[in-house]
Amino acid sequence: MTEANQEKALLEAKVEDIFTIAREKNYPKYTSFLNESQVYFAQAYIQKRHYANYLFYGGCKNNRRLMLGAFPDYMQPDREDFPIVSLKIQHPSHYELSHRDFLGSIMGLNIKREAVGDMILQPGECSLFVRDSIAPVILQELCKVGRVGVSVSQEDLSQMELVESFQERAGTVSSMRLDAVVALAARVSREKAVSLIQSGMVMVNYLVAQSNHVALKPADILTIRGVGKFCITDEISQTKKGRFHITINQYT
């Protein structure tokens, strides 16, 4: 079994476990924060098992890292029940700190990555979503990010908002085949696009593409290593010559 298949099997076991606990012990159960690929595979597994009464949530609208909550039949899934806290880390604004800086300092407190959700960086501050059980550790022990002194406070979760940012890219392709769309997204030749795919540099819906001939459709997620991540929109039209005019959004 490949490492990817092992990780997928482990995720499915975790999903199965929380639904079993919710059903048999009659209380809600939550995963840790899942990344985008884990969310995708968890959704696929839930659909395969025909499970109901669940919710994905990460602290506010448009989060990319999400918890999965499974609820007993008598409970209505509610975002307010999720064990998520929002914290604000403030620092002198003349210092430029990166996502990696904040995450590294937090993990330096022996906090696992899966306990931390999305981070929203602005000049002089970082808002982040964390599992409630580790919030006291960050509040009490995080006093520096790198060499920069910081202060940490708890925020009102209901006031949080994460605005998704996209860069729109439109163009005409001969077909919706993967190699054609990769060429448009990466701004390379068709031959270079084929090379990227064959080198394992391209993923479709978080799985490494095995063929140039895969036909993409609206809502598919295209990831090109070293280039970025894209979402295929439903703005697809066909020209008189049989070519396709498409719009793709690149995550920024």
Q: Is the pLDDT of residue 119 over 70?
A: yes
d(CA 212, CA 114): 34
The hierarchical CATH code for the domain 84-159 is: 3.30.70.330
Q: Judge if pTM exceeds 0.85.
A: no
Domains 3-80 and 84-159 share a fold: no
Tokens 């809502």 sit on residue: 219
What pLDDT, on a 0 to 100 scale, did the predictor assign at position 159? 76
pLDDT of 71-108, one tens digit each?
999 999 999 999 999 999 999 999 999 999 999 999 99
Percent of the chain as helix, strand, coil, to the nearest 5: 35, 30, 35
What pLDDT, on a 0 to 100 scale, did the predictor assign at position 252? 81
pLDDT of 123-179, one tens digit each?
999 999 999 999 999 999 999 999 999 999 999 987 777 777 789 999 999 999 999
In 3D, which of 181, 165, 179, 163 has the Cα closest to residue 218?
A: 181
**68 forms bridges with which residues in the sheet?**
56
Q: Is the pLDDT of residue 3 over 80?
A: no
d(CA 50, CA 47): 5
pLDDT of 217-248, one tens digit each?
999 999 999 999 999 999 999 998 899 999 99
| DSSP designation for 27 | S
Burial 192-220 (b: 16+ CB within 10 A, else e): ebbebbeeebbbbbbeebeebebebeeeb
Q: Is the pLDDT of residue 35 over 80?
A: yes
pLDDT of 36-47, one tens digit each?
999 999 999 999
pLDDT of 179-225, one tens digit each?
999 999 999 999 999 999 999 999 998 888 989 999 999 999 999 99
d(CA 50, CA 26): 19
d(CA 74, CA 23): 10
HSE-up of 147 (CA within 13 Å, CB side)?
1
CATH 3.20.20.370 fits 3-80, yes or no: no
HSE-up of 89 (CA within 13 Å, CB side)?
29
Cβ neighbours for 114, distance < 8 A, ≥ 6 positions apart:
32, 33, 34
For domain 166-251, give the fold: 3.10.290
What pLDDT, on a 0 to 100 scale, did the predictor assign at position 1? 66
What pLDDT, on a 0 to 100 scale, did the predictor assign at position 12? 97
Residue spans of the domains in the chain: they are: 3-80, 84-159, 166-251
Cβ neighbours for 109, distance < 8 A, ≥ 6 positions apart:
137, 138, 141, 142
